[in-house]
Each structure stands twice: as structure tokens, then as C-alpha cells.
Structure 1
Amino acid sequence: MQPRNMSMSGVVDLAAVKAAGEAKQKAEQARAEAARQGGGAPAAGAQRLVFDVDEAGFEAEVLQRSAEVPVVIDFWADWCEPCKQLGPLLERLAAEYAGRFVLAKIDVEANQLLFQQFGVQSIPAVFAVVAGQALPLFQGAAPEAQIRQVLDQLVQVSEERFGIVGAPVEPGAADEAAAAPAAPAGPHDSALGLAHDALDAGDLGGAVRAYKNVLSDDPGNAEAKLGLAQAELLQRVQDMDPQQVRKAAAEGPADVRAQIAAADLDLVGGHVEDAFGRLLGVIKRTAGEDRDAARVRLLELFEVIGADDPRVGAARTALSRALF
């Protein structure tokens, strides 16, 4: 989640930060006014939780609004099947978070300029804009637990760094967003069984293909995501010479590829915290493609261990600090 300033490349937008502080006071006043009105007319500045955005309205709907509330952006297209899984989930979470962030939906087919400006490579892709700064959150249909962790981090950083506490929502907005249908998750027991059998038999290529087949139909299937992450990890290390990999990593601390390969070996060997720490070190020391490669591999290793493991939670917090 490395910030990218939308108006001045690489420079913190101090005006936006100042505006965020002023917006915090206005939001708190609006909340107090809404409480005094006891459910009457909406207070000034009340937010819609979910809305569509195009290029013409981007500055007002996203950039200016981001001084008052974190704006999460969902890049989607009608032909994108994973988008149809992720979109309703994000809408439901927007209702649940009740104004701590709002969700802007951007159809990439109709808004190619925004698609290019954000550097989106594939969809679904989810970004946030906070105080005028764009933050890449995640790409693809991530598990709900992982999305919640990312949103929690976003809200926390928005409050602590920029003083943004969100704003009141329009009456009925939360109910409307909550009514979005949950992402369907049909049974795939047979296909998952074949994938597990292939993994147990050491047919890593077959296991990878089988898990991907499940995920193509059910992108949110947590069991398939875990199996795929495990199979891909084993596939990466099966032809490695551990001695050579560790030697290259020891001799080349700046060699990002060597460090990533060593992290894979660390994890396979049961040294989970060493693997996470190695990649976090790379992320702190690098930028650009090198940093992104280490970040992506770290997220893949999180999938292998599972979101419920406390070591993953600690590493996610460290990752957030390193990127912000």
C-alpha cells in the first residue's frame, strides 16, 4: 500500500493533509448534529456509501471527498467474472463499516484514462484514496478475512496519520448497501478432492491446474487458495539447490531474487518468521518493481500459512508500516 500522490508525483500533498484535519472537525460536528436531530433530515456532508464514478466526476467524487473519508475504489468490468464475486462483498463491507470508508466503483471499459492513470494491470483491482493520495490495496478476488484486515489498516492509518474519521451516512444508505447479495460459493468438493489428491501424490503441476480450475469458478474459495499457494511454493523449491540459494542470499543482500528464493526455502523449512522478516527487510530497503516483487511473494506466503496465524497478523502490521 505504497502511497502515490495523485496531483504531485512522489510528493506529500500538504494541502490535502491540512484539509483532512479541517474535515475531521466538520465530520465530528456533523455527527453531533445528526445525533441531536435523532434521525431527522440528514446532516450536511452526509455520505453515500457506494456510488459509481466516471472521469468527469473523479475529482469531486473521489479526490475532494478523500479529505473527509477514505475512498476505496473498485475497478471492474461487466465481462470480469471475479469482479462479480468481489463487488457485492465490498458493498456489503461498506455497509458494515458504516461510514468509515466509502466505495467508488469505476467501470474500466468506460473510463480507460483512470484505468491507465492508476497503472491497473488486471481486474478486479482495489485502490484507496486518502487525503488526495492513491494507495494500492490488493488485486484479484481476495478472501474476505484478508480484505477486512486491509480495510482495518486503511481506516487506522487514515485516522492516525491524517485525522480522517469518516462522516455520517445518508439515512437508509447502510441498509441499501447491506442488501447487496453475498458472493455465491457453490460446492466444489469433487474438484477440490482431485486437487488434494494430486498434491498428496507429488503431482505439483496437476495440483496447481486443479486448484486454479476451482478458483476460476469460485474465486473466493479459501480452501483452494490455500492449496494453490502450497502447491506453487513446493513447485518453486523442488528444483532448488538449497546450499546455492542460501549462499547467493548471504553474499548478495541486495539481490532481491536471491532473497525471495531464500524466503521460500525458509518457509518450507518451517522458519516462518525468518521468511517473513527476510521479505519485510527487502520491502523496507527497495522501491519500484523490486519492492513489489517482494510484497507479492510475502502475500503469497501469507496464503500458505493462513490468515488466522498470529505470525501472519504481526507480519501484516509490519508490512503496513513499511509501505505507509
Structure 2
Amino acid sequence: MTQQPFTRRGAIDLSALKRPATPPPGAGAPAGAPAGGAPAGPSSYAVSVTAENFQQVLETSMTAPVLLVLFSRGRMPESGQLADDLVTLSAEFEGRFLAGLVDVDVSPQIAQAMQVQSIPLVVAVLDGRPAPLFQDVVPIDELRTALTQVMQQLTSQGMTARHQPLSGAAPAEDGEEPAADPRYAAAEEALARDDVDTAVAEYQKLVSANPADAEAVAGLAMAKVLQRTHDVDPVAVRAAADAAPADVDAQTLAADVDLAEGRPVEAFGRLVELVRVTAGKERDRAREHLIGLFAAVGNDDATVLQARQRLASALF
């Protein structure tokens, strides 16, 4: 798959979206509602993107990846099929990414803001930062394989968040207790007997078998926190961190200790500040560690959502 680089990598010029000359068809539709030439087929993880909701869709990439697909059914029907396939896969991946559907005939301002030279184009947006993914029309099986590899890579970096379904989610019955899943029994039993190494190994088996298993990914992330802090002296760890505010090793271990002691706000705040005062590879290490801690707590947790906002401010 060939890549189409942006002229300004890592940024989208939104000035073209401030005053659209005429409202595009379907403008003002709520997130998740079809508009203009949006692909057919139900998915709770796909949204038609217009100039009006473009910024909002980009902001959701602070939670989990957004894949923008730019297409035109009129000028290139096969690009419309690519958009349809991405919608199908967004349902299969169950929130690992949100499919953002940009019909360039309906919303030419978006194509202009993104400096798009040809279609189709699929762009991955993570933490508000866009990167071209591919610009070819490929069969859905190849697309599924490519996206699986992308999600596996993100999982290996601790990026395991999921989008909430935009519609169609069935609420649980009041008072209903979820049934225990036997897949996690071995890992949970290991944690119960303080056998952290075995718990890590058991969760790793589950994640290797199914990288999209959010519960296993979260369990693995937390088990690794417990593994890293199993034999450390919390007082000494925090003293070392206080003495070296920009030391990535010291600060990440102290954040692990904070989290293991049930203090996620302190853990997240420590690493957000570390991101703020570091650069280059050190900043990347701090950010990736923080995202791993997000996974351990749960990406829907209020403390995680607040920390993601602070992380965005620290990065930009």
C-alpha cells in the first residue's frame, strides 16, 4: 500500500472550514447519522463527517484512533466501496477505531484543509495527529489484515482504548450481574495468590490470541504495573523521582507505584508533567507509558478522560 504524505505532517489547516460558502447536504446531522454520499450498512462505530462536525470527530481521536476515509462515489465508485468496507470493519473491530466518512463532493472543504491530492485516501488520526495510512482500493480481506496489524502495533504500544458505540448499544438489565468469563480465570486466580508473573503470562496469552480483547489488554496492563512494583520500596521510589523530575525511568516507576496504590490522579499527573518537560524519544517513552496506565485503569474512567485532556495540552 502506497502512502500519500501531507505537506504539513501532523497538522491539519482548519482555516478552510471556518466559513463554508454553502452548507453541504446533510450538514448538521448528528454524529452517526448518514449524510450525503455516506456508505450504506449499519455500524455503531462510523460517522459521516462534514465541515460542521469535523473538529469534533478529530477530538474523539484523543480516546481511540479515528480512520478518515475520503471518497467520491460519483467520480470513483470503487472508493465508495472502500468506505463501505471500512464501515463493515469498524463494526467487526468493535470500537478499536471510529470510521470517519468524508465524501469529498459533499464536503470539499475537508479535502482542502487536509491538502488531499487524490482519492481514495485513508488517514489515521491518533491523539489529534493525522498520518496517511494508504490510498489504494483493496479487497476487504486485505483491508482487514492491514487494520489488524495496525491495531496490534497500537496494542503493543499500550494504546488499547475503544470508542463507545454511537448508537444501538443494549443497556444491561437493572441488577443484572455479568457472568464470569472463564477465559480470565487463570490470570485472576494468579493475582489472587500474588503470583504476578503467572498473571502476566496468562493475560499475555489472551492478548496474543486476540489483540482486540479489551478486558485482557487492560488486565495485562495492570498486571505489568503490579509486576514492575512488586518488590520496590515506595518511599525510595518517590524520593528518587522527586530528586530527578525529568528522569523517565524514575518518574515512570513512581507513577507505577502511585497507580498500584490506587492513586491514578497522582500517577497520571506525574507523567503528564514528564511529557511537558521532556522531548524526543524521552517524551515518547513517557507518553507511551502513560497510555499504558490509561489502559490499566480503563479508558472510560473519568480520571483517564481528564488526563487525556491534560496530555493533549502538554503535547501541543
Indicate conservation of the 8 Å contact 1:49/1:103, yes or no.
no
Which residue of 265, 269, 272 maps to 2:264?
272
Q: Which has the higher helix share?
A: 1
Task: Please give the alpha-carbon distance, in whole angstroms, between the structure 2 residues aligned to 1:91 and 1:123.
Answer: 12
Indicate conservation of the 8 Å contact 1:253/1:259, yes or no.
yes
Deviation at 1:233, TM superposition (A): 0.5
Matched, 1:139 2:154: yes
Matched, 1:313 2:305: yes
Which residue of 115, 122, 137 maps to 1:104?
122
Indicate conservation of the 8 Å contact 1:191/1:210, yes or no.
no
Runs of 4+ in 1 over 6 A off after TM superposition: 84-87, 95-103, 105-108, 141-145
Task: Please give the alpha-carbon distance, in whole angstroms, between the structure 2 residues aligned to 1:260 and 1:274.
Answer: 12
Provide the secondary structure at the position in 2 that maps to 1:146.
coil
Matched, 1:205 2:220: no
Identity %: 32
Provide the secondary structure at the position in 2 that maps to 1:295.
helix
Shift in CA distance, 9/310, structure 1 to aligned 2, threshold 3 Å: closer
Equivalences for residues 91-240 of structure 1 within 5 A: 93-94=98-99, 104=122, 123-125=149-151, 139-140=154-155, 146-148=161-163, 189-240=181-232
Unaligned runs of 5+ residues in structure 2 are 42-49, 59-65, 69-88, 111-119, 124-131, 138-147, 167-178
Task: Please give the alpha-carbon distance, in whole angstroms, between the structure 2 residues aligned to 1:7 and 1:243.
Answer: 49
Indicate conservation of the 8 Å contact 1:211/1:227, yes or no.
yes
Q: Deviations over 1:180-200 (max 9, x none)?
A: xxxxxxx99444111111121
Aligned to 2:169: none
- Tell me the TM-score normalised to structure 2 length: 0.55
Shift in CA distance, 33/282, structure 1 to aligned 2, threshold 3 Å: closer
Indicate conservation of the 8 Å contact 1:283/1:322, yes or no.
yes
Provide the secondary structure at the position in 1 that maps to 2:122.
strand
Unaligned runs of 5+ residues in structure 1 are 51-64, 75-83, 112-121, 127-137, 153-186
Aligned to 1:61: none
Task: Please give the alpha-carbon distance, in whole angstroms, between the structure 1 residues aligned to 2:96 and 2:264.
Answer: 34
Aligned to 1:21: 18
Aligned to 2:251: 259
Q: Number of residues paired by the alignment?
A: 231
Deviation at 1:49, TM superposition (A): 8.9
- Tell me the TM-score normalised to structure 1 length: 0.54
